[in-house]
A and B are shown apart, each in its own frame.
Chain A
Amino acid sequence: MNTNQQLEHIALLAEVDDLTYRLKRWIDDCPAWQTAHKSRALITRLLERVETLRFRLETPLVVATFGGTGTGKSSLVNALVGTEVTTAGRQRPTTKTPILLVHPELEPEALGLDLSQFQLKRVDAPVLRDIVMIDCPDPDTSEGPSAGSNLAILREIVPHCDVLIYTSTQQKYKNARVIDELADVASGCRLVFVQTHADLDSDIRDDWKNFLSPSYEVPEMFFVDSGKALSEQKAEQRPSGEFGRLLNLLSSELGAAKRVEIRRANLIDLLQEALVACRSDYDTGLPHVESLIKTLDEQRKVLKDTLTKQLCDELLMNRTLWERRLLSSVTDMWGFSPFSAVLKLYNGLGAFIASFTFFRARTSAQMALIGAVQGARWMKSRAKEQEAESTLDRLSTFGISDQQLQECRLVISGHIHAAGIDYAMAEDRRDLTDLRKRAASLEDEFLGDASRVIDDVIEKLAAASSNWFTRCRYEFLFLAYLIFLLGRVGYNFFWESFLAPIFGAASSPEPLLKVDFYIPALLFLVIWSLFLVSMFTWKLRRGLTQRVQNFAQQMAESRLVHGLFPNLEATCRHISGDSQTLTGLLDQTTQFRRNIADTSSGFLGGRRET
């Protein structure tokens, strides 16, 4: 081999190595799914074969005969070699022990074959310079692959062969047993098609080719008379006709230069076919997984809808709380002003009273209203509390009920079983503790989202109610009373009781205003401010129902990140990803197979890509 060829070899091998590496990575990253396990077992076995092949990449190609009994396998071998090295006979079956023919210069041990299976013959024939040949027993006289039967022996040998010479005759080319056997063994082998008995039979090659084409690449078929060929060989004549061509091709096209190429093509065929099988396994298994994913999604949605609905109902029932939040937000926006001071005072008093109940807030809606920060803290304590509570008591409080959890579990466990996913549902099974914890964190997430949305709603409502015009109106109305009061008191204090007598506008100073005045004045101040405040809050609360509906809408569009079964969801995602990787690998291998198919020598056929 020259350097150039060696480089080429290395390049060829590198491609195989790359594929092997990817396959190994795929194998290592196995989702907990039965179909995935099965597929990996298959590919792993094949990869082992790749390894053993590497060791004998450089040994001569193994060419074996394959075909029904009496089709002339042994006769053909004799003709090719040029002497009677194997018995051809008229009793069926003739060949029972496979005959291994090697060139005297070759060490048969290097072939990696179990030599005890063969009758070894060293023959110095030109055709054996670059290859070894095996004359195999037939596949069609044994009714089953019982030990020692021809079929069993044949099956032992074929996996070690690189090229099969498939012989047939007019009588046998449609024999079901032979065809079936070929279908089992042909992947991983190149094929040479030969019709024998040319002197006796009609040429049926066209029909044979039509018959094989759906499953095999059939570039060429040889129609030979082995008897004549053998006598020609013996007479040291150049074999003529189709046989001559066959002999030539076998001697020249399977040389050292082609070994790696052919073996690699065989290997890729095997891998590609195995991957196709895996793909179809996946295709049958995936719908179950998809329906599991769909169910998980549906459940998540149902859970969220329940939570939203519960929350909305409660939100609508807690009008005073809304008011408080709105007011504080408005006053924050407003900064300091007389009316806002009144609002603040009012809110502060309310909050003080309400605080007794808040910190023992009963519902999540209340907490969501109080605000995200405090809410989260409250949620945690509540979750702890809930764990302690007994089943029955939990039923009526906010959140996902045990019954819902149970229903979910019931449905999901069926899907898990159908999909063949290894998921320890059993642990979820006996008691609900784990599931409840997950439900609580789901509620937690949900309420977190809800609080943020509510904060937003409040912000907006407050902004709408504190525009310049509204503000001025309320400030003016409030100030009007204050000014009137101040004017009234100032008039009395400065003028009536002091300046008027001095300027002689009055005979005597009027007395200062008494408590009798201040009490009603204050009373009216309170009434007036209360009136204004309630006007204002009424306005604030207007359209609240609308807002809550909007809120529900907004929540419906949002999506919970986790469901009740986060691990299961992760497994499902893993499976989907894994399936995509498999498709990628299959595509790559198929492409590879196509690319190298073109380079194979013209007369070698093989199994068609499925």
Chain B
Amino acid sequence: MTSDQELQSSFQKIADATQLAFQAIRKLQAKAQFLQPSPLDGQEWYELLRQKLVPQLGGDPWLVAAVVGGTNIGKSVVFNHLAGCRASSSSPLASGTKHPVCLVPSGFEKRHDLQSIFPDFKLHEWSVASSALEESADHDLFWRSAPELPSTLLILDTPDIDSDARVNWVRADAVRRSADVLVAVLTQQKYNDAAVKEFFRKAAAEDKAILVVFNQCLLPEDEEFWPIWLKTFCSETGVNPDAVYIAPNDRRAAEALTLPFYDRPWPVPDDWGPTSPAADGQPRDLRTDLSNLRFKEIRLRTLKGSLKQLLDSSTGAPSHLKHLQRASEELAAASERLSSEAVLKIRDWPSPPNASFVAEIRCWWKARQQGWAKKVNSFYDTIGAGVAWPFKKARDAIQGEPIPPLDKYRESEWTAILTTIEELFDKLQWMADSGNRMVKPKIEEVLQASGRSQLIESLKRHHSAVDFEAELKDTVASEMESFSSDSPELFKFYRQLHNVSAAVRPMTSVVLFSLGMGPASETVAPFVADAAANAAIHVFTDVAGGTVAAVAGDTALSGAAGTGSGMLQAWFHRLHSVFTQRRVDWLTNLIREELLGDLPEQMKSAAELPQSDEFVTTADAIKTLNSLVEELDTNRIPQ
């Protein structure tokens, strides 16, 4: 194989890898939104990828040359000299050219898709020179066929890089990235301007071929100065010009397209002085010089330059990945802290009414008895009710009708819910204030003041729709079922039902966000010990995961209390805790639905970004690309 073919094939490989990397990066960016990564658009490496590498890698090569520089220094004049006609309007007023004008070799537009070469521009066929002067919000590009151009050379005039019309800068930057050759027009006034330096520093980093033209020189006085200007310019920007020209300040010649461009040596010979003008003193034809450039070499050089920028570890795609990873780790650390500190401890969750439990158990019991036993039972019940009736009446008359215990429970549960929500808001506020920049806006969204009364209304609505009777029934049914199947002491238990005195306020913890290793395991441990000691019932619920990691005093039943009232007590603890568990689950689900939405999931997925497929794929793609480019460097024999 010839080295040219080899080169061709390795470039094809690079082109494919670049495509892959491009797709992967975009997908990754979409996935990483939560981390608020710096937007891809506007990052130099990404724009190079999009505007230069993706459209230009692979396929047969061509060369893009662009005339660039500050406003009102004669870019359009130089361009017109290259074009050989007034293809671009020039005016004495600044920032005249607002859209690029492109000369295209004849038939080029049929062989290539111009739009994909200039992805950011809206293409128009050139009709009059002045249309590039008109202001419009779109990025326009006016192209015109130029038969006299070599078949693979495109020449552009670009908007300025330093006027207050910043959109011009954006357009000039886009042209710069697509370009292989830059004709840098400089003047005495502008060669050291910050804006100019910034622009050309980027061009140098991309290894563009640069032809410097010092325009509007006062000749012969400035012969003495241009070497100084050029040295300053080169040392400030890192540019190493491929050729240097100077042109006099001659407005009439400029209008007539007869401005002479004298070439000057670079690097400047040591013995250079104002008295040693160039060899023949004859002006050069810029277009011929441009056509005589070594296209293939320059193109390779600029593609590689752009690839290097893309792969640069401190400013390119790898650093973007690194930033993403760091942000993700930062978020993970923050969330870990949040999930361990943002545990709501609800102390005052009301205890469910024992009386209702007892009634419910009786009910359950009755439904399951048959024959004689049932009769006896209902007889006693009737008698009991009969005896109790007058007392009840008397009490009602004196104290007023008592509030049904479940209604009372509902009331106090609402209080507990309000307390929880309030504490939740406090915690969230704390998280927003002390959390990191990524979490803050999301939480602030949740905390919006205007939403609060609606939230309360909607919680209230949900809460008043809860059927506590049914809740209680379900709890009792499920618990009694398991109890009756493995306890021989059932009857004893039933007989003692009225002795119940268990009344504890369950202590409830709600974990707001848990990522992987939340505090779940820690909070679980003390329950078992405490349950036996009758101190409190802990209920642990995880809002984030939506999982129910309830731990009730299981051991209490089997271990702590053998028989009799001890067992009864433990049994009621269990009922309480199961019931409370159900209620707190209900609440946490509601909080998720009404308040947090998918914020916890988003956080979790963002914190795990470096492990995601998208991230791994992107990192791989970049690594592949890197090694391909390195290979290219080492294998290639310089021409």
Q: Which residues of A contact B (CB under 8 A)?
A: 68-71, 90-93, 140-143, 169-177, 179-180, 200, 202, 204, 207, 288, 291-292, 295, 391-392, 395-396, 402-403, 406-407, 409-411, 413-415, 417-418, 429
Contacts and interface: CB of A to CB of B under 8 A. Distances in A.
Nearest to A170: B72
B22 interface: no
B70 A92 contact: no
B456 A177 contact: no
Interface in B392-415: 403, 408, 411-412, 414-415
Nearest to A197: B189
Contact of B163 (A92, A175, A202, A295): A175
Most chain B CB neighbours (cut-off 10 Å) among A143, A174, A395, A402: A174
Interface string B577-601: 0000000000000000000000000
Contacts of B450: 291
Closest 5 CB pairs of A and B: A414-B449, A70-B189, A92-B192, A202-B92, A174-B94
Contact of B421 (A70, A292, A410): A410
B418 A414 contact: no
B447 A175 contact: no
Nearest to A89: B225
Nearest to A299: B453
23 contacts: A70-B188, A91-B225, A91-B229, A92-B188, A92-B229, A143-B197, A143-B198, A171-B70, A174-B71, A174-B163, A175-B162, A175-B164, A176-B162, A207-B93, A292-B449, A395-B412, A407-B418, A407-B456, A411-B449, A413-B422, A414-B425, A415-B449, A418-B448
Interface of B: 70-73, 92-95, 162-166, 187-195, 197-198, 221-222, 225, 228-229, 232, 249, 403, 408, 411-412, 414-415, 418-419, 421-422, 425-426, 429, 447-450, 452-453, 456
Contact of A71 (B189, B421, B422, B425): B189
Contacts of A171: 70-73, 94, 187, 189-190
Nearest to B195: A177
Contact of A174 (B164, B198, B452): B164
B94 A418 contact: no
B554 to A, nearest CB: 30
Contact of A410 (B197, B408, B412, B456): B456
Contacts of B195: 140, 175-177
Contacts of A179: 164
Contacts of A141: 192-194
B249 A200 contact: yes
A181 to B, nearest CB: 11
Nearest to B423: A429
A56 to B, nearest CB: 34
A93 B429 CA distance: 52
A177 B429 contact: no
A172 B426 CA distance: 56
Contacts of B453: 295, 407, 411
B456 A396 contact: no
A295 B448 CA distance: 14
Chain B at the A interface: SS class:
helix
B97 to A, nearest CB: 13
Contacts of B194: 140-143, 177
Nearest to B228: A91
Contacts of A91: 225, 228-229, 232
A388 B364 CA distance: 41
Given A169-B189, A410-B422, A415-B449, 9 more contacts: A90-B222, A92-B188, A174-B94, A174-B95, A175-B193, A291-B450, A292-B449, A396-B403, A417-B429
Contacts of A68: 189, 193
A403 B418 contact: yes
Given A69-B192, A171-B72, A406-B419, A395 B411 contact: yes
Contact of B415 (A140, A173, A180, A402): A402
Contacts of A200: 249
B461 to A, nearest CB: 13
B92 A170 contact: yes
A204 B197 contact: no
B92 A410 contact: no
Nearest to A70: B189
A140 B71 CA distance: 14
Contacts of A292: 449
B522 to A, nearest CB: 26
Contacts of A177: 162, 193-195
A170 B189 CA distance: 11
B348 to A, nearest CB: 8
B93 A204 contact: yes
Nearest to B192: A92
A207 B94 contact: yes
A177 B187 CA distance: 17
Contacts of B92: 170, 202, 204
A170 B92 CA distance: 8
A272 B36 CA distance: 38
Given A68-B193, A207-B94, A410 B452 contact: yes
B411 A409 contact: no
A207 B222 CA distance: 30
Contacts of A143: 194, 197-198
Contacts of B452: 410-411, 414-415
Most chain B CB neighbours (cut-off 10 Å) among A69, A175, A392, A407: A175
A453 B94 CA distance: 79
Contacts of A291: 449-450
Contact of B164 (A71, A176, A406): A176
Contacts of A418: 448-449
B218 to A, nearest CB: 8
Nearest to A71: B189
A141 B425 CA distance: 51
Nearest to A419: B449
Nearest to B217: A90
Given A90-B188, A406-B419, A69 B447 contact: no
Contacts of A169: 189
B444 to A, nearest CB: 9
Nearest to B71: A174
B188 to A, nearest CB: 6
B432 to A, nearest CB: 9
B418 A410 contact: yes
A125 B585 CA distance: 89
A71 to B, nearest CB: 7
A142 B429 CA distance: 43
A92 B94 contact: no
A418 B164 CA distance: 37
A430 B164 CA distance: 56
Nearest to B160: A174
A194 to B, nearest CB: 15
A411 B447 contact: no
A146 to B, nearest CB: 12
A411 B455 CA distance: 10
B187 to A, nearest CB: 6
Most chain A CB neighbours (cut-off 10 Å) among B164, B197, B221, B232: B164
Given A204-B92, A417-B447, A418-B448, A403 B198 contact: no
B629 to A, nearest CB: 30
Nearest to A362: B400
A333 B429 CA distance: 63
Contacts of A417: 429, 447, 449
A90 B193 contact: no
B183 to A, nearest CB: 18
B536 to A, nearest CB: 18
Contact of B193 (A140, A204, A414): A140
A536 to B, nearest CB: 30
B205 to A, nearest CB: 15
Given A173-B94, A204-B93, A410-B456, A92 B415 contact: no
A410 B448 CA distance: 12
A105 to B, nearest CB: 37
Contacts of A90: 188, 221-222, 225
